[in-house]
Structure 1
Amino acid sequence: MMWLMRKTLVILTPGFPENEADTTCIPERQIFVRVLKETYPELNIVVVSFQYPNQPREYRWNGIKIIALGGKNKSGLHRRMTWIGAWQKLKKLNKDHEVIGLLSFWLDECAFIANKFSKKYAVKHYSWLLGQDARPDNKYVNQIMPDGESLIALSDYLVDEFEKNYGITPKHVIPGAVDITLFKPQSTQRDIDVLGVGSLIPLKQYGLFIETIKFLKESHPDVKAVICGKGIEMQKLKDMAALYQLENNITFKGELSHPEILEHMQRSKILLHPSRYEGFSTVLLEALYAGAHVVSFFRPMKDVFLHHHVVNNIDEMNAKTLTLLNDTGRGHDPVLVNSMTQMADSVVKLFGNELYREVAIS
């Protein structure tokens, strides 16, 4: 007698949502995992999360098995114990299921463990470069010594960045994407002139955002800007806005849920994204699909996207933002660069399209 055995893909990540309501934990990655499951329901997906949630437990998230190791980002012996726990979980999964491969989010400790496991047990493994892991200070690159075939890059920019820093060229590019099902019908009301979305940390350079609003206020005294996000620079940025007398122009919303972020994007004319480094900002992609124009320093792909305006410095950012604000015919049609379904298809193709195999039982 024969029966069909589902194949299993194991995803390793530093963190994962503790429940379905936790939309702010790595939103891009959790959306990908959910869409992967929806697109390939026959594929058994298991997520091993190293550090977060903080308590070790196993649970279901949108029908997907999550194994939380509860590492809590502790170092030293505690981290080693987390790694040992990950290894033991992988051994059990490999014994109990037909594991077609391991996919690690970021080239970090997850990739380090997955790489060793893949070599010992001959299981296919890909590491997904997602941003800062392509920068020159990634200690795990020398520990793993990956070849280009095992690396996926989120953008053309990350391919070039990783090659420049490590002399290794990632062979696969699976670009950032959006889940179009999360968007409500387009709003005709664009009552936010300039929107900022992201972590309020030095890398994101939100001081430049405030400088641009100060510049815009000279010709648009009632310019309305909103910043969504939290971080160590929150108070510094609020103080800067007060110094420039922008309290009536800039609203700091703090951390919002992902649906709330999308709703703000659909109300915005322009997304201003001053970050000095990005792998492929999903914020950029979501804003474009929400109908906003995007002004940024960063070009993730060699292709040019409609409504994405790349500038080289703060003066160009000021000028481009002002030009867009003055252009009443700028248009706000949705721009779809890549869908999450396309992303899911690309990942599954790397591991093989046959997701079942026949097993003889007596």
Structure 2
Amino acid sequence: MKPEALVILTPGFPSSEADTTCLPPQQIFVRALKQAYPDTHLIILTFHYPFRADNYNWFGCEVISFNGKDWGKGFRLNTWVKVWKKMGELNKQYQLLGILSFWLGECALVGQRFAKRHQLKHHIWLLGQDAKAGNRFFKRSKPDGSNLIALSDFVANNFANSYGIRPQHTIPVGIDVSLFDNTSTERDIDILGAGSLIPLKQYHLLIETVRLARLYFPKLRVAICGKGPEEEKLKQLIWQYKLENNISLLGEIPHNEVIKLMQRSRIFLHPSEYEGFGAVIAEALYAGTHVVSFCRPMNGEIKHHHVVNDMNELQKRVIELLKRKNIEHHPVLLYSSAQIAAQMMGLYR
């Protein structure tokens, strides 16, 4: 009797157990899956990152990295062939429950064709921008609603509007509640931002908001953690508005340290232009902060999540929250990682 296994295809995965900043939501999901189903061998095939060809153990999961060079069609096709061959070997070695692809991209393309050839279950987890119109892998992968998993109602609606197909499953991000300290913490950070410093995340709007809010609260304490190409522009804006004493750019910090900052914060401001279901939103809510963002991930109302429509409304809501003296900071749990792991495995068993 061959051992049971589930294959996960992803563009990138942590290079080691200490690499906590690489795709934290996917890390948490895989660890929860392994913890809930220890007898199922989890094999992660990562196309590009880490930048080495390797086979290593990650919290009891087998990770095979292919160091795919994204230098053009030839190199990318070479990676696909290597992944295909490895999946063929795994299919002989294990009783495969199926394949799970992160994002509707090249992983989904390879996974879809291999699963069809070998009559295996394959699901594609739509994790954000891959649900937008213009995804060139949609026609090449030819997914149908039955094998598509949307990260949120927002992603499901966006995909349906873009392609005329509605994902039949919605599985959001889950959080690892064990990362949070239950002891009471002083809320000594007024506003926190966390994420990649890229144009899509619009962190300049956070700085513009602080510029206005400082008129009411001169000693406003703000922190932004993350790294990216917008960092220098943000530094210049902070200098231009003379906000050096109010805003600290902390750079990229370990995931558990971000959680601690959330538990010290009053408001988590997430001004991203597009967000499938930011794990940072779910984590911030469980950390007890009030979240202000433009994106509504789920159709229903979420306690302590303030969804705004434009910059004017965003600034008003932030200032209003800062003015509240007795604002509550109770944890709001949307979905635990254990719940999400069980929901996902239910699609394969």
Same fold (TM over 0.5): yes
More displaced 10-residue stretch of structure 1: 246-255 or 4-13: 4-13
CA offsets per residue over residues 19-64 of structure 1, 9 Å max, x none? 0000011111011101110111111111000001111111101111
2:256 — aligned with what? 259
1:56 — aligned with what? 53
1:199 — aligned with what? 196
The one of 59, 64, 69 aligned to 2:66: 69
1:121 — aligned with what? 118
C-alpha separation in 2, matches of 1:90 and 1:10: 8
Aligned AA for 1:307?
Answer: H
The one of 12, 27, 31 aligned to 2:28: 31
SS at match of 1:168: coil
2:206 — aligned with what? 209
1:358 — aligned with what? none
CA offsets per residue over residues 183-225 of structure 1, 9 Å max, x none? 1224330000000001111100011000100011001000010
Task: Please tell me whether residue 319 in structure 1 is matched to residue 316 in structure 2.
Answer: yes
C-alpha separation in 1, matches of 2:201 and 2:63: 31
C-alpha separation in 1, matches of 2:8 and 2:94: 14
Q: 1:137 Cα shift?
A: 2.1
Report 1:169-188 matches (<5 A): 169-188=166-185
Contact (CA 8 Å) 1:186, 1:266: kept in 2 or not? no
Task: Please tell me whether residue 307 in structure 1 is matched to residue 328 in structure 2.
Answer: no
Task: Please tell me whether residue 243 in structure 1 is matched to residue 243 in structure 2.
Answer: no
Report 1:142-161 matches (<5 A): 142-161=139-158
C-alpha separation in 2, matches of 1:165 and 1:68: 32
Q: 1:77 Cα shift?
A: 1.0
CA offsets per residue over residues 145-167 of structure 1, 9 Å max, x none? 11000100000000000011111
Aligned AA for 2:269?
Answer: L
2:76 — aligned with what? 79
C-alpha separation in 1, matches of 2:207 and 2:168: 39
C-alpha separation in 2, matches of 1:183 and 1:20: 19
Q: 1:287 Cα shift?
A: 0.3
Aligned AA for 2:216?
Answer: S
Contact (CA 8 Å) 2:69, 2:75: kept in 1 or not? no
Q: 1:5 Cα shift?
A: 4.7
Q: 1:73 Cα shift?
A: 2.8
SS at match of 1:207: helix
SS at match of 1:57: strand
Report 1:106-117 matches (<5 A): 106-117=103-114
Q: 1:118 Cα shift?
A: 0.6
More displaced 10-residue stretch of structure 1: 12-21 or 67-76: 67-76
C-alpha separation in 1, matches of 2:234 and 2:92: 52
User: How many residues are aligned here?
Assistant: 349
Structure 1: where are the runs of 5+ without partners? 353-362
Contact (CA 8 Å) 1:178, 1:285: kept in 2 or not? yes
1:278 — aligned with what? 275
CA RMSD of aligned residues (A): 0.9
| Larger RCO, structure (CA 8 Å, separation 6 or more) | 1
CA offsets per residue over residues 281-333 of structure 1, 9 Å max, x none? 00000000001000000100012111000001111111111111111211001
SS at match of 1:46: strand
Aligned AA for 1:280?
Answer: F
2:230 — aligned with what? 233
The one of 335, 340, 346 aligned to 1:338: 335
C-alpha separation in 1, matches of 2:189 and 2:183: 14
CA offsets per residue over residues 223-244 of structure 1, 9 Å max, x none? 0100001111101011011111
Q: 1:74 Cα shift?
A: 3.0
More displaced 10-residue stretch of structure 1: 66-75 or 55-64: 66-75
C-alpha separation in 2, matches of 1:73 and 1:342: 35
C-alpha separation in 2, matches of 1:269 and 1:158: 28
The one of 90, 94, 98 aligned to 2:95: 98
C-alpha separation in 2, matches of 1:121 and 1:14: 22
SS at match of 2:223: strand
Aligned AA for 2:331?
Answer: P
Contact (CA 8 Å) 1:150, 1:171: kept in 2 or not? yes
C-alpha separation in 2, matches of 1:41 and 1:74: 38
Contact (CA 8 Å) 1:53, 1:72: kept in 2 or not? no
C-alpha separation in 2, matches of 1:72 and 1:179: 33
Structure 2: where are the runs of 5+ without partners? none
The one of 13, 16, 27 aligned to 1:19: 16
Task: Give the TM-score taking structure 2 as reference length.
Answer: 0.99
